[in-house]
Amino acid sequence: MEERNELYPVFLKVNKLNILVVGGGNVGHEKLHFLFKSSPNANVEVVAKWFLPETEELAKKHGAKLTKGRYKRKYLKKKHFVIAATNDSKLNKRVYRHAKKRYLLANIADTPELCDFYMGGIVNKGHVKIAISTNGKSPTTAKRLRQFFEEVIPEDVNRMVENLNEYRKSIKGDFEAKVEQMNNITESLTVKKEQND
């Protein structure tokens, strides 16, 4: 039987969650950069013995807290999830163990077996956001798919979403009736393949 991707995609309101990133080097910077690219108001604390200058700049721009020093368990207090992104695999594994004892979600960079979630490719066009996962197998494929979707999704999709939202508010009737009307209106968005007889 073919292996499937059994991940369940969710969209987190990271401005309402407390996130810890452990690591101030290249990998930590990359994780922080993509987090803020998708969610500029994410609530993040970064702990590391040192920080790249660009990480300091990024943190300042988005209001992230930088804590200079060695990682300690206490930094997990009142956090919802943690991302370990250091070049020290023992430290990363220690962060994972500490997170699991506290029932926190953890992402340990470049260690899929120690990840409760992956930070996949993201396409963002206004209100429309598409997350892409390759089940941790090929970040390069996720990147290429992201580029593909960025090209094919029209730039005015945000206006369409806003117009449909206004229309949805004006529809009378119960939930099922509203769903049926919205389905009828948006039916033309799906591409139907005509069969020739």
Q: At what angle do helices 157-170 and 175-186 cross, to 10 degrees?
A: 150
39: which 2 tokens? 């969610």
Residue at 65: amino acid letter: K
Distance, CA of 153 to CA of 156 (rounded, Å):
9
Q: What pLDDT, on the 0 to 100 scale, is given for residue 119?
A: 87
Residue 64 to residue 68: CA distance in whole angstroms: 13
Residue 191's pLDDT is 54
CA 141/CA 135 separation, integer angstroms: 11
Rounded Cα distance between 90 and 133, Å, is 27
End-to-end CA distance of the chain: 35
**For the whole model, what pTM was predicted?**
0.83
* Residue-level pLDDT at 193: 44
pLDDT tens for the chain, 197 residues long, are 678 888 899 999 999 999 999 999 999 999 999 999 999 999 999 999 999 999 999 999 999 999 999 999 999 999 999 999 999 999 999 999 999 999 999 999 989 899 999 888 899 888 899 999 988 788 889 889 999 999 998 888 888 888 888 877 888 888 887 788 778 777 777 655 444 44
Estimate to the nearest angstrom the gap between the alpha carbon of 148 and the chain centroid.
18
How far is Cα 64 from Cα 124, in angstroms, rounded to an integer? 22
Long-range contact set of residues 2-5: C-beta below 8 Å, sequence gap at least 24: 3/135, 5/133, 5/134, 5/135
CB 123 within 8 A of CB 146: yes
Q: Tell me the one-letter amino acid at 111.
A: T
What is the per-residue pLDDT for 138? Answer: 83
